[in-house]
Structure formats: structure tokens, C-alpha cells
Structure 1
Amino acid sequence: MADQQSLTDRIEALEIRLTYQDEAIETLNQTVTAQWKQIDALTRQIAALSERLEQAETNVAPINERPPHY
């Protein structure tokens, strides 16, 4: 009978640990998902800013070029 109780206690302890681990994994998964969404948004923002910078650089007159009134 003592062996049966010991086995039951061990199984119960494992089930409790499994429950906590499942919660931890779900929390980590949510955190990683949120971080990936933020990384994707930042990547798109950097791409848009790079494109705007390239457009601005092509629209600027060269620095060493004389103005038209000379």
C-alpha cells in the first residue's frame, strides 16, 4: 500500500510540474511571438526609411556643383 501511495504521489508531482512547464512554455511562446511581430514592424520601418533616404540623396544637388547663376 505504501508503494502505491508513493507512486501516486510521484505521478501527482510530475503532473504538477508538467502543468507549470506548460504555462511557462505558453508564456515564452507569447513573448517570442510578440517579439517577432515587433521585429517585423521594425524591419519594414527600416526598409521604408532606407528607401526615403535613397530618394532624398538622389534629389539633392551635388555639393561641388556651381549654382546656375554663375
Structure 2
Amino acid sequence: MTIYRFLTGPDDASFCHRVTEALSKGWSLYGSPSLTFDAAQGRSICGQAITKDVFGVAYDKDMKLGEQ
């Protein structure tokens, strides 16, 4: 089964650390990152899709994808 997540957050070091942590746990980048500007908060927001192939696990809508 392939699982999918979309990480979002302010364009800062903490976002980069979240993506790096996911990559170190076997996730792969999926597509290009996205960037938008939140005018209300005056900051840029990043987004990055990631996927991971897991074996021996059946999909369940209640599963916590980040824990796979």
C-alpha cells in the first residue's frame, strides 16, 4: 500500500526539519513543493506532498498515516 501525506507550515527551519525527518523515516517527495503567501499573517507557507510504500498493512480510514 502507498500512503500519502501533505505537509504544510511556515517557510522556516521547522518546516524543513519536518520534511527531513519524514525523508529519514522512509518517505519520498512526491511532486514539487508549493509556496503561498498568507497576507493575514504576513508570512510564506510551504507545502510538500510525500508518499511511502508500506507492506503488510491494509488501509483503514482511522490509521495515523504519520506513524507508518
Same fold (TM over 0.5): no
TM-score, length-scaled by structure 2: 0.23
Task: Answer 1 or 2: which has greater strand percent.
Answer: 2
Greater C-alpha Rg: 1
Write 1 or 2 for the structure with the bigger share of helix: 1
TM-score, with length taken from structure 1: 0.22
